[in-house]
Amino acid sequence: MRVVELALENLRSYADLTLPLAPGATALIGPNGGGKTNVLEAIHLLARGDSPRAREDRELVRWGATTARARADVLRAESERRIELLLFAPLEDERRPRRRLLLDGAGKRPEDAGGELVVVAFFPEDVELLGAAPPARRRFLDAMLGQVERAHRRESRELRRILEQRNALLRAAREDMTPPEAELAFWDRELVRLAASISLRRAALVAELAEPFREATARFSGASGLELRYAGQVGGDTVDERAAAYEQLLREKRDRERWQGTTLVGPHRDDLSVTSAGRPLPTFASRGEHRSAVLALKLAEAGWLTARTGETPVFLLDDVLSELDPARRDALARAIPRDAQALLTAAVVTSLPDELRERAAVLPVRMGEVG
């Protein structure tokens, strides 16, 4: 699949940009701060509904404007789709308007974004993925599943709301003489149902990623024996097995949950772990090793998304090349499938590996102007 045309209005540095994009690789070349990352960020936003760099929509809206608009025309094997997203930067005393999402011109709920355009992305922020706190890794897994499974997006959303309610109840009932069993029953039932389903999907995903990840790390860093594992509270090959295990765990942790006033059981406590000979990666890896491991993970992700959707995802590679040595640059260039649309950013064209320089279209970007 690929983006045929990207159009941005008042998004970040772009007042008004219409950018036709070629199939295959495109290198956006220009000085830092010139706006090349914003192009990749906009595609990420349209594909997954969030930005790797912005926490709030107002950061994405161009200074002085109140509304930003992004549009991508997407060509898939069997269909064409137009995705449009409107973002608002509300004035101080106005109530915050929701985003608006349009698919082929028809309004959709913004939370239904995702899946129309499938991307695999590497932004500089991702280097921290394996060294950062667990939430970033859970988000990585959930975002990946969310791109191909609507049910996972819905259930993740539901789980967040269940946890909010259940935590509020546990906090409110801290002083009660007896546990609020009757009040907990509904939240427990929903928590168990969602936890079983979400954790099973994640564990199955990680199991499928493990081998491709091992291969990719070997190709990339020469490191061998890196193990990818889903570190979950419960095991089980079926939803029912997991549900039973979660129920048991809830009973065991009842007193501690009451004492701490928070939910200690559920997939929001799980993690994705990378180990080498039993040792966790973060304790010994250098920044370069982290970068290689994360790149390997993203390449495994691309392979998985291709297998699941039957189409090659769009690659978004922001400033990846500058910090890689020539051997790793070549390895990365070879790992990007020839049929993939890939958008790369770099400060200078010379940082492109030979193989990419031959096949990539080069787009100069500076001062918010492309081409």
Partner 1 sequence: MPSALARPLARLIDELGKLPGVGPKTAQRLAYYILRAPGPDAEALAAAIRSVKTDLRYCSVCFNIAETDPCAICSSDERDAFVVCVVEEPLDVLAIERTGQYRGRYHVLHGAISPVNGVRPDDLKIPQLAERVKRGGIEELIFATNPNLEGEATAMYLAQLLGGSGARLTRLARGLPMGGDLEYADEVTVSRALEGRRAVS
What is the smallest separation between the CB atom of 17 and partner 1, expressed in angstroms? 33
* Strand 342-346 to 25-29 pairing: parallel
What is the smallest separation between the CB atom of 60 and partner 1, expressed in angstroms? 24
Nearer to partner 1, 197 or 292 (CB): 197
For residue 78, state whether it binds partner 1 (rule: CB under 8 A): no
Size of site (CB under 8 A) for partner 1: 20
What is the smallest separation between the CB atom of 161 and partner 1, expressed in angstroms? 6
Residues 141-160 within binding reach of partner 1 (CB under 8 A): 158
DSSP 276-310: ETTEEGGGT--HHHHHHHHHHHHHHHHHHHHHHHS
Residues 317-356 within binding reach of partner 1 (CB under 8 A): none
What is the smallest separation between the CB atom of 230 and partner 1, expressed in angstroms? 28
Contact between residue 25 and residue 345 where contact means Cβ atoms under 8 Å apart: no
Contact between residue 360 and residue 349 where contact means Cβ atoms under 8 Å apart: no
Nearer to partner 1, 84 or 188 (CB): 188
For residue 53, state whether it binds partner 1 (rule: CB under 8 A): no
Nearer to partner 1, 263 or 341 (CB): 263
Q: Which of 60, 162, 285, 336 binds partner 1 (CB under 8 A)?
A: 162
3-state class (DSSP) for residue 327: helix
Q: Which of 161, 174, 334, 366 binds partner 1 (CB under 8 A)?
A: 161
For residue 174, state whether it binds partner 1 (rule: CB under 8 A): no
What is the smallest separation between the CB atom of 171 and partner 1, expressed in angstroms? 8
For 69-89, give one letter per residue: b (16+ CB within 10 A) or e. Answer: bbbbbbeeeeeeebbbbbbbb
As a whole number of angstroms, the distance between CA 241 and CA 200 comes to: 10
Q: Which of 165, 260, 262, 309 binds partner 1 (CB under 8 A)?
A: 165
- State whether the Cα torsion 275-295-31-334 is positive or negative: positive
Task: Please give the helix or strand (H or E) that residue 116 lies within, else none.
Answer: none
| CB neighbourhood size of 90 (10 A) | 13
Tell me the per-residue interface mask from 183 to 212 with partner 1, x by CB under 8 A, - otherwise. Answer: x-xxx-xx----------------------
Integer angstrom CA distances of residue 82 from 71, 106, 258: 7, 10, 49
Q: Which stretch binds partner 1 (CB under 8 A): 20-28, 90-98, 274-282, 316-324?
A: 90-98
CA atoms within 13 A of residue 12's CA, in its CB half-sphere: 22
Q: Which residues bind partner 1 (CB under 8 A)?
A: 93-95, 158, 161-162, 164-166, 168-169, 172, 180, 182-183, 185-187, 189-190
